[in-house]
């Protein structure tokens, strides 16, 4: 099968590797092909025999299946950019972490162009599971696509024939999970600054004994430092989802700001040079919290 990947970041490259291993033809496009950041993308594409396209339309023109895995804010724009080049009946699988409203808007663009839109909600980190990552599918074409994806090696579950259900499930979960990441970074860093982290963690263990707070905190710090920008975008979409439900998204919006704040620190080099897949990263949250505290003490951030 001819598969087009729109977005060739971490998720796109994992999908490309596994799909190529399964014998499928893969073409990929990423906005980075128009910048100097294309160099590592080209290197990966050469190693895995992936065709790197120069535009959305070039990528999708021969595709039986299009998988959109871009940043959350580009969900509708990516669908619009691909729509005119889709083959009649082509399936457009939208992996992006976007609100139900954004998914419905993207679906309208794809369906109007003769494609078949399926929303996909990726329910946990892709990297440990790869193609087997749990995915919720939604929309009128979801049930037909599910067995095809299983043959590819995916692990889909049909959430609903109604668009928006799968993405709402994902986004409401994100309010909790990525909100917890933001709260842990804020709480644990402040506790470290006051020298009360041991007492605080001991109290958390009593209240929630099923959580290994040391391990969880280190994991949260690592993930946000590496992917805070992407997580902030997802939390903005989570905030939109909450607002679409008629509530003010105070928690989601604040979590997005904390995720962005950590991403800004990472870009400024507070945590050292950018590293891939956690290489050389400290697995002790205290080391990362100390870097934040030291930066704040020097008056660099609020």
**Cross-strand partners of 135:** 122, 156
Q: Where are the beta strands (DSSP E) in the chain?
A: 2-6, 25-29, 51-52, 65-68, 91-94, 116-122, 134-138, 155-160
Tokens of 75: 């969900």
**In this structure, CATH architecture of domain 167-297:** Orthogonal Bundle (1.10)
Q: What is the pLDDT of residue 278?
A: 44
Q: Is the pLDDT of residue 280 over 80?
A: no
C-alpha torsion angle, residues 129, 131, 136, 141 (rounded to 10): 180
Check if the beta carbon of residue 22 is closer than 8 Å to that of residue 11: no
End-to-end, the C-alpha distance of the chain in Å comes to 51
Q: Where in the chain is the domain with CATH 3.40.50.720?
A: 2-162
Q: What is the pLDDT of residue 283?
A: 77
Q: What is the pLDDT of residue 282?
A: 56
| Confidence at 279, pLDDT banded by 50, 70, 90 | very low
Alpha carbon distances (Å) from 35 to 54, 71, 225, 260, 275? 11, 17, 24, 23, 20
Q: Is the pLDDT of residue 136 over 80?
A: yes
Average pLDDT over residues 1-25: 95
Q: Does domain 2-162 have CATH number 3.40.50.720?
A: yes
For 78-100, the pLDDT digits (tens) are 999 999 999 999 999 999 999 99
Q: What is the pLDDT of residue 77?
A: 97
The proportion of the chain whose per-residue pLDDT surpasses 90, expressed as a percent, equals: 90
Check if the beta carbon of residue 2 is closer than 8 Å to that of residue 24: yes
Q: Is the pLDDT of residue 275 over 70?
A: no
Q: What is the 3-state secondary structure (H, E, C) of the chain?
A: CEEEEECCCHHHHHHHHHHHHCCCEEEEECHHHHCCCHHHHHHHHHHCCCEECCCHHHHHCCCCEEEECCCHHHHHHHHHHHHCCCCCCCEEEECCCCCHHHHHHHHHHHHHCCCEEEEEEECCCHHHHHHHCEEEEECCCHHHHHHHHHHHCCEEEEEECCCCHHHHHHHHHHHHHHHHHHHHHHHHHHHHHHCCHHHHHHHHHHHCCCCCHHHHHHHHHHHHHHHHHHHHHHHHHHHHHHHHCCCCCHHHHHHHHHHHHHHHHHHCCCCCCCCCCCCCCCCCHHHHHHHHHHHHHCCCCC
Q: Is the pLDDT of residue 284 over 70?
A: yes
Average pLDDT over residues 144-166: 96
Q: Where in the chain is the domain with CATH 1.10.1040.10?
A: 167-297
pTM of the model: 0.87
């Amino acid at each position: 099968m001819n598969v087009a990947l729109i977005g060739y970041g971490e998720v796109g490259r994992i999908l490309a590797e596994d799909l190529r291993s399964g014998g499928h033809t893969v073409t990929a496009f990423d906005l980075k092909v128009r910048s100097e950041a294309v160099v590592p993308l080209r290197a990966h594409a050469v190693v895995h025999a992936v065709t790197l396209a120069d535009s959305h339309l070039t990528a999708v023109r021969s595709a039986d299946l299009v998988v959109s895995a871009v940043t959350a804010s580009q969900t509708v724009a990516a669908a619009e950019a691909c729509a005119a080049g889709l083959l009649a009946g082509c399936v457009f699988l939208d992996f992006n972490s976007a609100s139900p409203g954004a998914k419905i808007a993207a679906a309208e663009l794809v369906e109007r162009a003769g494609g078949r839109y399926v929303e996909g909600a990726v329910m946990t980190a892709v990297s440990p599971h790869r193609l087997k990552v749990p995915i919720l599918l939604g929309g009128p074409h979801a049930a037909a696509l599910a067995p095809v994806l299983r043959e590819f090696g995916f692990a889909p579950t049909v959430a609903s024939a109604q668009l928006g259900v799968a993405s709402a499930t994902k986004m409401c979960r994100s309010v909790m999970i990525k909100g917890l990441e933001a709260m842990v970074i804020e709480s644990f860093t402040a506790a470290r600054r006051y020298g009360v982290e041991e007492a605080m963690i001991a109290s958390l263990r009593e209240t929630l004994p099923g959580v290994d707070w040391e391990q969880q905190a280190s994991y949260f710090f690592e993930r946000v430092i590496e992917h805070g920008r992407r997580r902030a975008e997802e939390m903005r979409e989570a905030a939109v989802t909450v607002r679409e439900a008629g509530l003010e998204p105070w928690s989601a919006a604040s979590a997005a700001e904390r995720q962005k704040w950590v991403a800004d620190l990472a870009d400024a080099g507070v945590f050292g040079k950018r590293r891939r897949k956690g290489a050389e990263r400290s697995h002790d949250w205290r080391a990362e919290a100390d870097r934040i505290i030291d930066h704040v003490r020097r008056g660099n951030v609020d």
